[in-house]
Amino acid sequence: MRIIGLDPGTYRTGYGIIDVKGSAYLPVSYGCLESKEVRISGRFLSIYDQLKEILSLHKPECSVVESPFLHRNPKVSMQLSEVRGVLILSLAQLGVEIAEYSPLEIKKAIVGYGRADKTQVGKMVKTLLNLPHIPRFNDTSDALAAALCHAQRQKSILAKYQ
């Protein structure tokens, strides 16, 4: 099973694709969709095109997008939701299944503790995927963590019915 995790951001959206082979998790591709466009419309165009390219290239079967959460600044929550809309549309257009987990659920699944900090998430992602380094941006680690969370959940669901 190939999973893409996405961590929406207003300027930088993390993505992380992993393959699940038995009990092994293998990294396929990870990084950030970035845009230096000042106008929101330009950023959305760019994010949409970049994501479409990645999806066409790596053909994940399912995706995980962090579920919306209320930021301290509601304006930020709304801006992130706009990006989520663009990501969900791109995924739906290519027929990729979409799952959602809250940041808390993802951290709990990966680090075992819902209030884990960014460094702990990065370290666990590096360990679980046997990466040479912790990803440069937290957004990438968070996206990989989302994909890993889904992989673990799927495995426990499968185990339950086998």
- Residues with a catalytic annotation lie at 7, 66, 139
Residue 138: both structure tokens together: 């937290």
Instruction: Name which of 97 and 117 has its Cβ closer to a copy of itself.
Output: 97
**Shortest separation between residue 14's beta carbon and a copy of itself, angstroms:** 17
Sheet holding 97-101, edge to edge: 24-34, 12-21, 2-7, 62-66, 97-101
CB count in 10 Å sphere of residue 44: 18
- The answer to whether 19 and 1 have CB atoms below 8 angstroms apart is yes
**Shortest separation between residue 37's beta carbon and a copy of itself, angstroms:** 10
Residue numbers of the site for a copy of itself (CB under 8 A)? 40-42, 44-45, 48, 68, 70, 74-75, 77-86, 88-89, 91-93, 98
Helix (H) or strand (E) holding 63: strand 62-66
Instruction: Name which of 93 and 127 has its Cβ closer to a copy of itself.
Output: 93
**Shortest separation between residue 132's beta carbon and a copy of itself, angstroms:** 35
d(CA 89, CA 21) in angstroms, rounded, equals: 28
DSSP 47: H
Cα-based angle 148, 47, 99 (whole degrees, multiple of 5):
35
**Shortest separation between residue 80's beta carbon and a copy of itself, angstroms:** 8
CB count in 10 Å sphere of residue 70: 8
